[in-house]
Structure 1
Amino acid sequence: MSPASRAALLEVLIHGELPRAEIARRLHLSRASLTRITRGLVEAGVLAEGQTRLMAQTGRPSEMLHLRADARHFLGIKLTGDALYAVVTDLAAAAVASVERPLPSREVADVVAEIADVARGFAETYPTLTSVGIAIAGRVSQPAGGALVEHSAFLDWTDVPLGALVRDATGLPCAVENDVQALTATEHWFGAGAGIDDMALITVGVGIGCGLVVNGRPLDGAHSRSGLISHFIVDEDGPPCGLGHRGCASSMLVSGAIAEAYDRPGVDYAGVVKAARAGDARALDVFADAGRALGMLIATVASLVDPQKIVLTGDGIPVVELGGDAMHRAIADRVDKDAVEVDLDVRTWDFSEWARAGAGLAIRALLA
């Protein structure tokens, strides 16, 4: 697919049904060139022609083009330390099937074999399965030979060429990325950030993550290390984290820190959430502290990059429900007086969203 064809398809993919003339205007192409390009996309089955509408700008008729989302399917994978979550999506990143499996072990060969088995099973139902995308917690780089998992603490992996291994095992192209970066990119094209050039995504839960989109492009950083905010100091009198930082976000906001702060034998994070919802004063105080920590992070990100929107999500999202007042006060206290009010979009969560982010990554790899 040529760059011009990809650009035309992307316009419809991200913005929905569009007139030919509007696509030509956005891509600075002549009507003849656009017609030639879109004819190829229609013949390939990824775009379809619709009704003709009058263009308000010119008063001339223009044929509408819309996405044939079912023309391609993509397999998204999320790997944790003990489970594999898989989702099949269409070309618009809408989930059409899913499965969850325990990992037989953390050995690389066993995990790759499990991914290949899932791919084979889905390929029988979805013969248009085009590629695989994998979202994984950890550091991922993109050398020429395929994605390299430099380190994943949950799987205890170091320097695993996962992209090439899965490609060889499945016969499908494979993209691999850090899970927060994959989720950010997918939300940018297919979710809360669709049509937005500048956004941030913050995840809270077992860990803290941050992804950024600046000028319409995901921000990787010079060393693929952007968004490392979990050890920002949010309370100089706060508790120490595992690295000895006093009062950093990870010492107050992650699920384990919240359970530790509640300090009741046998009560985990879910138990603290249950206690807070029942009105337990100690649990509510712990979530207020966590909410303040989250508010500090949000204010810092907003001040640094001035995003149009900040998306909050993750398995620790109850902190917004239970510590939201403290979070909003911290934001108000910390943002610059000249800053525009932060547009927060709080998203509910389950692990299938991580897998869908993997599929979104595969779509982006194909088209971007």
Structure 2
Amino acid sequence: MLTESESAVAREVLLHGPISRRTLAARLRLSPASLTRLARPLLSAGVLVELDDDGDGTVGRPSRPLDISPAAGTFVGVKLTGDRVHVAATDIRADLLDARDRPLDDPSPRGACLAIVEALEALGRDDVRGVGVSLGGHVADGVAVHAPFLDWHDVPLARTLEDMLDVPVAIENDVVALAEAERWFGVGRGIPGFLVVTIGAGVGLGLVVDGRTVRTPDAGIGTVGHLPLRADGPPCPLGHRGCADALLTTTAIERR
């Protein structure tokens, strides 16, 4: 298990590597000695690798840039909807290696967990280091507190899957997870603030402010869906006339 400081070093290299030690120390506000101390166990564990001298032209001892090891393993992302399981295997920098999807015939917690396990087995990867699961609804501390499209309440999804898969599992609201992915690896990389809006079974909003993804009890779960857009529009299932949910969701579009 990495310490908080070691995790900060690994995360910075993941997002900005290859990166010189000088630049890395400056970004983390560390002394050269502190960076060397923190990087040493990461290099020994194979999390980081040293590249050839970057030849940055500075005077003194040559600097070998640090990067995340390309052999850091496979990571799997899972998207759960009300009727399907989507899985994607990537390397540590989120470059796609394989992707599959399958029907979710049994949307109960047990049925969904079994479907996820079967989908991962179909990928045929024996080097999976971790799994992330996203779903619509309120998620907190590894628990699906309320997932309306699955009709779940207080399901300890992360712990259940960890017991079944024997790897670390994280779960997150799907829109928050998308915003986080764009912040780390996508079009939002390096942008301090942006919005992600999703339209499908519901309307969701992910928010990044000052380089951090906003996480609140209602983050991403569809409160933006009830913003009024057209006063004379049709009502949504909750009776709000002309709101985003009444006009923009898949069901609303199909009805028109």
- The alignment partner of 2:52 has SS state of strand
Cα distance change, pair 76–54 in 1 and its aligned pair in 2 (3 A)? same
Q: Does 1:196 align with 2:185?
A: no
Flag the structure with larger Rg.
1
Distance 2:31 2:63 in 1: 13
Note the alpha carbon deviations across 1:300-319, whole angstroms, 9 max, x for none.
xxxxxxxxxxxxxxxxxxxx
Distance 1:141 1:64 in 2: 37
Match of 1:157 among 149, 152, 156: 152
Q: What is the letter of the counterpart of residue 28 of structure 2? A: L
- Is the 1:119–1:170 Cα contact (8 Å) retained in structure 2? no
1:46 matched residue in structure 2: 47
Match of 1:212 among 199, 204, 207: 207
Residue 168 of structure 1 deviates from its aligned partner by: 1.2
2:134 matched residue in structure 1: 135
Residue 182 of structure 1 deviates from its aligned partner by: 0.9
- Is the 2:102–2:119 Cα contact (8 Å) retained in structure 1? no
Moved more, 172-181 or 41-50: 41-50
Unaligned runs of 5+ in 2: none
Note the alpha carbon deviations across 1:92-149, whole angstroms, 9 max, x for none.
1112122222223122222212222333454xx433311211111122122xxxx111
Q: What is the letter of the counterpart of residue 215 of structure 2? A: D
How many residues are matched? 252
Residue 259 of structure 1 deviates from its aligned partner by: 2.8
The TM-score, its normalising length taken from structure 1, stands at: 0.64
Residue 59 of structure 1 deviates from its aligned partner by: 4.5
- Is the 1:120–1:170 Cα contact (8 Å) retained in structure 2? no
1:67 matched residue in structure 2: 68
- Is the 1:14–1:195 Cα contact (8 Å) retained in structure 2? no
Greater per-residue helix proportion: 1
Q: What is the letter of the counterpart of residue 63 of structure 2? A: S
Q: What is the letter of the counterpart of residue 225 of structure 1? A: D
Residue 2 of structure 1 deviates from its aligned partner by: 1.8
- The alignment partner of 2:150 has SS state of coil
Cα distance change, pair 192–66 in 1 and its aligned pair in 2 (3 A)? same
Distance 2:207 2:46 in 1: 33
Alignment of 1:1-368 (within 5 A): 1-55=2-56, 58-60=58-60, 61-122=62-123, 125-142=124-141, 147-221=142-216, 224-227=217-220, 228-261=223-256
Identity of aligned residues (%): 39
- The alignment partner of 1:164 has SS state of helix
Residue 169 of structure 1 deviates from its aligned partner by: 1.3
Distance 1:238 1:172 in 2: 48
Q: Which runs of 4+ in 1 moved over 6 A?
A: none
Distance 1:71 1:197 in 2: 28
Q: Calculate the aligned-residue CA RMSD, in Å.
A: 1.9
Cα distance change, pair 226–85 in 1 and its aligned pair in 2 (3 A)? closer
Q: What is the letter of the counterpart of residue 163 of structure 1? A: A
Q: What is the letter of the counterpart of residue 77 of structure 1? A: V
Distance 1:251 1:32 in 2: 58
